[in-house]
Amino acid sequence: MKSLTNSIDKVFRFFRRFANLVKLIDKKTTVKLVVKSVFGALLFSILIVLLPALILINMFIYTKLTFLISILLVLLIMGWSFLYYYFYYRLLKIYHPTLENINTKIPQLTESTIVAFFFMILGIVVLSVVF
Amino acid sequence: MLKLLKQYKKLLIILLFPYIYMLFVLVAPTQLAVIAPGGLSQVNEAVIIDGYDMVDNFNTIYVYSYSPITPFQSWVLATDKTMEIYEMTERQKDLSMQDEYAQGQISKMVSLKTSVIQAYLLAHDTKPEVTIDYHYEGLYVYYRPSYVEGLEIGDLIVTINGHNYSDYAHEDFVMLAYDSEVEFTIKRVSGDEITYHSVTYIYQEEDPYMIFYPAYMIDSASPSFELPGLDTIIGGPSGGLIQTLSIYVSLVNINLGDSKIAGTGTIEMNGEVGRIGGISQKMYTAIYNNVDIMFIPASHLSEIPDIDYPFIVKSVTTVEEAVQWLNEEFN
C-alpha cells in the first residue's frame, strides 16, 4: 500500500514539475518564435519521416504484408512525434537562448509520449476497423 | 532555423541529392502496371436463392491490379515471380480510378446476371420447375475514349444510328457500334425517371476500340433470387464460371462434401468460358488458400506456371463441360 502511495506521489510530483517547466518556458517565449519553431520542427520531422513512410506505402503492393506494414506505419507515426518535439525544443532554444539553462527534456519527452500514445490509440482503432 | 541548417550544412548538401532521387523513385509514376495475387471470396455470399441453401464450396478468385506503379515498386517486384509487371495499355492510361471501379462493377453485374441465366437454364434440364425468362436490352459501355463527352462507363446504349436493339441479336447489334461514325442513344434510369441522350462519336485512328457488354434483363425467375454480390467493392467478370457452377449445384443439390472449389473464367451467354487477366496470380492465390479443385479456361492451360499444383486443375471450354465433370466426380 505504501509503495502504491509512493508511486502515485511520484507521478503527481513529476506532472507538477512538468507543468511548472511548461509555464516557465511559456513565460520566456514569444508567440511569433513559437510559431516559427512549430513550422521548423514540422518541416524537419516530416522530411525525415517522409522517405521511410513512402517506402512502407510502396510496399503495400505485397498484399500478404498489408497488416504488418500498417503496424510499421503506425509505429513510424508514433516515432514522428518524438522527432517533432525534439526539433521543436531544439529550435525554441536557438530562438530563445535564455532557455538554455532550463531542463526541456521533461516537457519534450512527456509531450512526445502523450502524442505518440494518441497516435497509437488512433492506429489501433483504424487497424481494427480496416482488418 | 538557419542556425540549425548552417550547423549541418555539409551533411545536408551531401544528403540532398540522394534524398531527391529517392523521393522521385518512390513517388514518380511509371508506364507500368502490376497484377498481384489476391484472395478468395465465397460465391454463396454473392447470390441468394429463395428456398435453397447456397453451397459454400465455391470461391471466386480475385487478384490485385495496380497502375501505374513507381520505379521503386518495379525494382522490388522484378524478382518476384508471383507478380506480373507489364506496360500499361492505352486504355489503362486513358482511365481514371473511378472509371476502373465503374468497369469492375459493370462487368461484375453482367457476369452475375449471365451466371444466373446460365445456371437456371442448365438446372431446368434436370429440374423443370426451375425456370427463367430474360430479354436482351442493348449494350453497356465498358470502355470509351475519355474525351467522348456524354458517354460514361456503364451507360446503356439502346439505339445505334437509329437501329434499335430489339431488332437485333447481341452479336449483330454490337457490330453496329464499331462503325467509324456512330450516333448512340443512351438510356439512363434515375429512380423512377427514365431519360434518353444522344451521343455522336467519330472514330479517330489513335483511339483504342470501345468495349461493350451485353445487357440482359431478367423478367422472371423461379425460384426467385437476390444478388447481394452487386453491393461489394470487388469487381470484374472473371467469377462468371464459378458463380454459374455454384448456383447450378445449389439448385440441383449435388453433394460436394467439404471440397474447396475455386475457379476463374468469364461466362458468355452461349455457355463458353472466356479468358481472364492474371491467370498466374490466380493460380498462386489458389495455392496460398489451399483449394482442392481449380477450374480454369482451357485457353489458359498452356500459360499457367509450370509447377506441381497441390490441387486438381480442371480446364474447361464451356460451363456444360464443367457441370458434366462435377456430376461425374460427385454424383
Residues of B in contact with A91 (CB under 8 A): 1, 4
Q: How far apart are CA B331 and CA B329, in angstroms?
A: 6
Q: Is A1 helix (H, G, I), strand (E, B) or coil?
A: coil
**For testing contact with chain B, the best of A62, A64, A69 (most B CBs within 10 A):** A62
DSSP string computed for B252-270: HT---TT--EEE--EE-TT
Q: How far apart are CA B82 and CA B85, in angstroms?
A: 10
Q: B234 and B120 in one domain?
A: yes
Q: B328 and B227 in one domain?
A: yes
Pick from B201, B222, B243: which residue ends a domain?
B222
Residues of A in contact with B64 (CB under 8 A): 61, 63
Q: How high is the mean pLDDT in each 10-residue block of chain B (331 residues)? A: 75 89 94 91 90 92 89 90 89 89 94 96 94 95 93 94 94 94 92 90 92 95 93 88 95 91 94 92 93 95 89 95 92 73
The partner residues of B274 in beta bridges, in order of sequence, read B266
Q: Does A63 touch chain B (CB under 8 A)?
A: yes
Q: CB distance A40–B19 less than 8 Å?
A: no
- Tell me the HSE value of B287 on the side-chain side, using a 13 A CA sphere: 14
- DSSP tag of B229: G
Residues of B in contact with A50 (CB under 8 A): 23
Q: Which of B104, B109, B121, B56 has its CA nearest to residue B227?
A: B109
What residues make up the domain containing A125? 2-130
A38-60 pLDDT, tens digit per residue, is 999 999 999 999 999 999 999 98
Q: Which of B25, B279, B210 has its CA nearest to residue A57?
A: B25
Any domain includes B166: yes
Q: B306 and B199 in one domain?
A: no
Q: B154 and B64 in one domain?
A: no
Query: For position A108, what pLDDT does the model report?
Result: 92
Is-cis flag, bond preceding B68, omega within 30? Answer: yes
Q: What is the number of domains present in chain B?
A: 2
Q: B208 and B238 in one domain?
A: no
Query: For position A64, what pLDDT does the model report?
Result: 81
Residues of A in contact with B26 (CB under 8 A): 51, 54-55, 58
Sign for the pseudo-dihedral over CA of B287, B289, B295, B296: negative
- Which residue does chain A place closest to B22, by CA atoms? A51
Any domain includes B314: yes
- DSSP tag of B207: S
Residue with cell 512527456: A110
By DSSP bridging, strand B312-316 and strand B293-297 are parallel
Q: Which three cell numbers, joined as nine digits, stand for B319? A: 460451363
Q: CB distance B288–A64 less than 8 Å?
A: yes
Q: Does A54 touch chain B (CB under 8 A)?
A: yes
CB neighbour list of residue A109: distance below 8 Å, 6 or more residues apart? A85
Residue with cell 503492393: A61
Q: How many CB atoms lie within 10 A of CB B161?
A: 13
Q: CB distance B77–A90 less than 8 Å?
A: no
Give Cα B286 to chain centroid, integer Å.
17
Pick from B191, B222, B253: which residue ends a domain?
B222
CATH code for the domain of B272: 3.30.230.10
Percent of all residues in chain A with a pLDDT value above 90, rounded to a whole number: 53
Q: What is the number of domains present in chain A?
A: 1
The partner residues of B157 in beta bridges, in order of sequence, read B139, B186
Q: Is B315 helix (H, G, I), strand (E, B) or coil?
A: strand
Confidence of residue A70 (pLDDT cuts 50, 70, 90): very high
CATH code for the domain of B183: 2.30.42
Q: Which of B106, B97, B165, B168 has its CA nearest to residue B141?
A: B106
Q: B231 and B82 in one domain?
A: yes
What residues make up the domain containing B169? 132-222
Q: B230 and B331 in one domain?
A: yes
Q: B154 and B136 in one domain?
A: yes
Phi, psi of B197 (to 5 degrees): -130, 150
Q: CB distance A54–B23 less than 8 Å?
A: yes
Query: For position A1, what pLDDT does the model report?
Result: 67
Question: Residue B79 class from Cβ within 10 Å (0-12 exposed, 13-18 middle, 19+ buried)?
Answer: exposed
Q: How far apart are CA B46 and CA B228, in angstroms?
A: 5
Q: How many pairs of residues across A and B have Cβ atoms under 8 Å apart?
A: 44
Shortest Cα distance, chain A CAs vs residue B316, angstroms: 29
Any domain includes B23: no
Query: For position B52, what pLDDT does the model report?
Result: 92
Mean per-residue pLDDT of chain A:
90
Pick from B172, B205, B222: which residue ends a domain?
B222
Residues of B in contact with A58 (CB under 8 A): 26, 70, 72-73, 76
Residue with cell 453433394: B255
Q: B61 and B147 in one domain?
A: no
Is-cis flag, bond preceding A52, omega within 30? Answer: no
Q: Is B292 helix (H, G, I), strand (E, B) or coil?
A: coil
**Contact (CB, 8 A) for B201 and B148:** yes
Respond yes or no on whether ipTM tops 0.90: no
Phi, psi of B263 (to 5 degrees): 180, 170
Q: B190 and B154 in one domain?
A: yes
Residues of B in contact with A53 (CB under 8 A): none
Q: How far apart are CA B50 and CA B68, in angstroms?
A: 43
Shortest Cα distance, chain B CAs vs residue A87, angstroms: 10
Contacts 24+ apart (CB under 8 A), A75-80: A76/A49, A76/A52, A77/A49, A77/A119, A77/A123, A78/A116, A78/A119, A78/A120, A78/A123, A79/A49, A79/A116, A80/A45, A80/A46, A80/A49
Instruction: Please report which helix (H) or strand (E) contains residue B25, including its range.
Output: helix B9-27
Sign for the pseudo-dihedral over CA of A42, A43, A44, A47: positive
Q: B119 and B250 in one domain?
A: yes
| Amino acid sitting at position B318 | T
Model pTM greater than 0.90?
A: no
Query: For position B192, what pLDDT does the model report?
Result: 83
Q: B322 and B205 in one domain?
A: no
Any domain includes B18: no
Any domain includes B65: yes
